[in-house]
């Protein structure tokens, strides 16, 4: 058993599954956390629970939080359509402060577990225009986190790791394959159907598809058509 | 009607009610937010809704978030008793990362409302040992928030104001009385009963009681005994 403990944010998608496999490969005892926030793509939550087991996490927690009450995103507000063409600038699928809210809850759990690190699967290369996926954001969150908590006050640093930050989708897929991930278990689509099949059209589907092509790996994704 | 808009975090307690009155007095159009997080003192939530109306906020939102799943505090975990004597160090009533989680959700709402500021009622003088009530923490959160959001990326700064930060409880009460707050509507107790009556024994009750004494204002709190 290892002494190093990490909370890993696991959405059920390709990136966070890879972040979990990387944390494990670095010797962390991993505890996964997922969020039920009224997202359209709820099949992700089932995928996350399965991936947590398949990748040998020590525990898995699902936190319910009502972000629909706030609104403002195509991912939680059913009055806003998910676009099927790439848009310039910050996309309508951006959920206001989502990574900040999720990281904050992960921070609370990390404090209870006395964890050394939080891992998350954001990356800046294919980041799709979300401000809270940039390295300077992650660094600022880490600084804040160490001022916010008992652990920080007592002098033990908590680290926020985003190991995929500078990897392309193809590099992420290659790393995950090396670590034994079965990517058919992951769901990236913004509007997957109830059985978790992908639309093949949204930004997230297109990035993923290109990633498998560029990685030279056959795409195991279950598509609706 | 004013152009300046603020999200104000309103717990139903004395401090946050005063922060709201101060934001109003500075000309902000105020939108209040409260959190239903499995706290023992649920009468606070009813007090918050009433205070929001009494102090003329433009809207009030209650966000449900399950912090009990994380545990680790006497305020959310019924297996941990609320102490009736003051303890040294960080108290068991500390909820891991609570201010960070609440500020993050307020940040999401501020982004949807295109607000200029978030107000919260923390203060460092009577802060009772919570790490996330210190000025350096608030500053670090503000820096992170401006990197996290669409508004920050587009160059409009969001401010996090903690106007009570360096005030004593007596000064807070004096300021609030000047601004017309009826403090009998506020609940500070960690273990208020269902009708909102205070225990008179916990840290929060003791700070409040001393505050009224030092302010030379008669204490309007409804006590259980």
pLDDT in tens, B152-166: 778 889 999 999 999
Helix (H), strand (E) counts: chain A: 7, 5
CB contact under 8 A, B140 and A152: no
Question: A interface mutation test: which of B140, B143, B146, B160 has the most A CBs within 10 A?
Answer: B140
Residue A225 exposed, middle or buried by CB count within 10 Å (0-12, 13-18, 19+): exposed
**Cβ contacts (< 8 Å) between B70 and chain A: which residues?**
61, 63, 105, 108-109, 112
**What pLDDT is recorded for position A89?**
54
Cβ proximity of B28 and B56 under 8 Å: no
How many whole angstroms separate alpha carbon B30 and alpha carbon B6?
5
**The two structure tokens encoding residue A31:** 């505890």
**What pLDDT is recorded for position B43?**
86
- Hunting for tokens 């390709």 — which residue is that? A14
Cβ proximity of A84 and A202 under 8 Å: yes
CB contact under 8 A, B66 and A64: yes
pLDDT of B86 > 60? The answer is no
B14 is annotated as contributing to ligand binding: yes
CATH number at A5-215: 3.40.50.620
DSSP category for residue A83: P
CB contact under 8 A, B147 and A153: no
Please give the residue of chain A at the shortest CA–CA distance from B138: A144
- Provide, rounded to the nearest whole percent, the portion of chain A with pLDDT above 70: 85
pLDDT band at B78 (very low <50, low <70, confident <90, very high): low
**Cβ contacts (< 8 Å) between B98 and chain A: which residues?**
108
Closest CA to B24 of B41, B5, B40: B5
Please give the residue of chain B at the shortest CA–CA distance from A151: B131
Enter the ipTM.
0.86
Distance from CA of A202 to the nearest CA of B (A): 21
**The two structure tokens encoding residue A27:** 């010797």
Q: Which of residues 62-101 of A touch B (CB under 8 A)?
A: 62-67, 69-72, 90, 94-101
**What pLDDT is recorded for position B2?**
62
pLDDT of A185 > 80? The answer is yes
How many whole angstroms separate alpha carbon A11 and alpha carbon A50?
11
CB contact under 8 A, A97 and B107: yes
How many whole angstroms separate alpha carbon A150 and alpha carbon B168?
23
Mean pLDDT score, A109-130: 84
pLDDT band at A202 (very low <50, low <70, confident <90, very high): confident
**What pLDDT is recorded for position B6?**
98
**What average pLDDT does chain A have?**
87
**Cβ contacts (< 8 Å) between A66 and chain B: which residues?**
63-65
**Cβ contacts (< 8 Å) between B90 and chain A: which residues?**
150, 153
A30 is annotated as contributing to ligand binding: no
CB contact under 8 A, A100 and B109: no
pLDDT of A77 > 60? The answer is no
**What pLDDT is recorded for position A86?**
54
Considering the entire predicted model, what is its pTM? 0.88
Strand order in the sheet with A29-36: A59-64, A29-36, A5-9, A117-119, A159-161
Classify residue B158 as left (phi > 0), alpha (psi -120 to 50) or beta.
beta
Nearest CB to B136; choose among A70, A103, A147: A147
**What pLDDT is recorded for position B125?**
72
**What pLDDT is recorded for position B154?**
82
Please give the residue of chain A at the shortest CA–CA distance from B111: A96
**What pLDDT is recorded for position A1?**
52
* CA dihedral angle for residue B73, residue B79, residue B85, residue B89, rounded to 10 degrees: -30
**What pLDDT is recorded for position A191?**
83
Highest mean pLDDT of the ranges A17-26, A120-129, B62-71, B128-137 = A17-26
CB contact under 8 A, B150 and A143: no
pLDDT band at A193 (very low <50, low <70, confident <90, very high): confident
| Alpha-helical runs (H) found in B70-221 | 98-113, 135-148, 150-153, 169-178, 203-215
- Confirm or reject contact between B33 and chain A (CB < 8 A): no
B19 is annotated as contributing to ligand binding: yes
**Cβ contacts (< 8 Å) between A87 and chain B: which residues?**
none
**Cβ contacts (< 8 Å) between A96 and chain B: which residues?**
107-109, 111-112, 149-150
Cβ proximity of A111 and A150 under 8 Å: yes
Q: What is the pLDDT of residues A34-57, one digit of tens each?
A: 999 876 667 889 999 999 999 999
**Cβ contacts (< 8 Å) between B33 and chain A: which residues?**
none
Q: What is the pLDDT of residues B88-120, one digit of tens each?
A: 555 555 568 889 999 999 999 998 899 999 999
Nearest CB to A140; choose among B99, B137, B143: B143
pLDDT band at B76 (very low <50, low <70, confident <90, very high): low
pLDDT band at B190 (very low <50, low <70, confident <90, very high): confident
pLDDT of A78 > 70? The answer is no
**What pLDDT is recorded for position A133?**
86
């Amino acid at each position: 058993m290892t002494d190093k403990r990490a909370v890993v944010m696991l959405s059920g998608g390709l990136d966070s599954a890879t972040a979990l496999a990387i944390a494990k490969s670095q010797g962390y005892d991993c505890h996964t956390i997922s969020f039920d926030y009224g997202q359209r793509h709820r099949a992700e939550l089932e995928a996350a629970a399965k991936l947590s087991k398949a990748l040998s996490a020590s525990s898995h927690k699902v936190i319910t939080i009502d972000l629909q009450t706030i609104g403002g995103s195509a991912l939680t507000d059913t009055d806003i359509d998910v676009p099927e063409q790439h848009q310039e600038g910050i996309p309508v699928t951006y959920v206001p402060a989502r990574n900040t809210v999720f990281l904050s809850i992960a921070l609370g759990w990390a404090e209870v577990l006395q964890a050394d690190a939080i891992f998350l699967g954001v990356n800046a290369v294919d980041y799709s225009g979300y401000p809270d996926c940039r390295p300077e954001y992650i660094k600022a969150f880490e600084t804040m986190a160490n001022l916010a908590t008992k652990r920080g006050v007592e002098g033990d640093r908590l680290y926020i790791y985003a190991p995929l930050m500078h990897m392309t989708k193809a590099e992420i897929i290659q790393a995950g394959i090396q670590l034994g991930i079965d990517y058919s278990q992951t769901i990236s689509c913004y509007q997957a159907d109830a059985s978790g099949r992908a639309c093949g059209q949204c930004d997230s589907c297109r990035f993923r598809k290109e990633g498998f092509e560029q990685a030279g790996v056959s795409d195991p994704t279950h598509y609706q058509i």
